[in-house]
Amino acid sequence: MTISVGERVPDVPLFRMGDAGVEAISTATLFAGRMVVLFAVPGAFTPTCSAQHLPGFIEAADALHARGVDEIACLSVNDAFVMEAWGRSAGSSGKVTMLADGNGDFTRALGLEIDARKNGLGMRSRRYSMVVEDGFVTHLNLDEPGAFKISAASHLLEQL
Q: Which residues have a catalytic role annotated?
A: 49
Residue 41: name the closest of 109, 119, 98, 111 by CA. 98
Is 76:84 a contact under the CB 8 Å cutoff? no
Q: How far apart are CA 157 and CA 33, in angstroms?
A: 21
Q: How far apart are CA 73 and CA 132, in angstroms?
A: 11
Rounded to 10°, the helix 80-90/54-66 angle is 80
Residues listed for the chain: 160
